[in-house]
Amino acid sequence: MLKKLFLLLVLVFPIINADAAKPKKEEPIEHLTEEQIYSELKKLALVFETARDNFVEEADERKMLEGAMNGMLSALDPHSSYLSKEDFKEFNDKSQGEFGGLGIQITSDKGAVRVISPIDDTPASKAGIKAGDYITRIDGEQVFDLTLNQAVKKMKGKPGTKVKLTIMREGEEAKTITLKRAIIKVKSIKYEEKEDAFSLDDEKAPKIGYIRISDFGATTTKELHDALKSLEKKKVAGYVLDLRNNPGGFLTAAIDVSDAFLDDGEIVSTRGKAKTDIERMFAKKGDLANGKPVVVLINHGSASASEIVAGALQDNGRAIIMGSKSFGKGSVQQQKPLGDGTAIHITIARYYTPSGRSIQNEGITPDVEVLQSKLEVLEKKESLFSEASFKNSLKNDASKKKDSKKEDKKTEDEEEDYLNLTDEEKDARDYQLQRAMDMVRAMSKMGQKNIENKSSDDKKEDSKKK
User: Residues 329, 331, 427, 430: which is the catalytic one?
Assistant: 329
Residue 348 CA, chain-centre distance (Å), reads 22
Determine whether 230 is an active site residue. Answer: no
Residues 6+ apart with CB under 8 A from 304: 2, 13, 247, 248, 249, 254, 327, 329, 330, 351
Q: For residue 293, how many other CB atoms are within 10 A of its CB? A: 22
Using alpha carbons, list the distances in angstroms from residue 4 to 16, 79, 203, 216, 437. Answer: 14, 10, 44, 9, 31
Look at residues 102, 97, 99 and name the one whose alpha carbon lies nearest to residue 115. 102
Torsion of CA 121, 125, 128, 130, to 10 degrees: -140
Residue 17 identity (one-letter amino acid): N
Cα–Cα distance measured from residue 82 to residue 149, given in angstroms and rounded to the nearest whole number:
10
Packing angle of the helix pair 220-233, 251-260 (nearest 10 deg): 20
Determine whether 302 is an active site residue. Answer: no
User: Residues 109, 315, 427, 430: which is the catalytic one?
Assistant: 315
Cα–Cα distance measured from residue 84 to residue 116, given in angstroms and rounded to the nearest whole number:
24
Cα–Cα distance measured from residue 13 to residue 22, given in angstroms and rounded to the nearest whole number:
19
What is the chain's alpha carbon radius of gyration, rounded to the nearest angstrom?
A: 27
3-state SS assignment for residue 359: coil
User: Residues 117, 214, 304, 331: which is the catalytic one?
Assistant: 304
CB 105, CB 115: distance < 8 Å:
yes
Residue 136 identity (one-letter amino acid): T
Cα–Cα distance measured from residue 357 to residue 363, given in angstroms and rounded to the nearest whole number:
9
Determine whether 399 is an active site residue. Answer: no
Look at residues 212, 197, 252, 241 and name the one whose alpha carbon lies nearest to residue 121. 212
Residues designated catalytic? 304, 315, 329
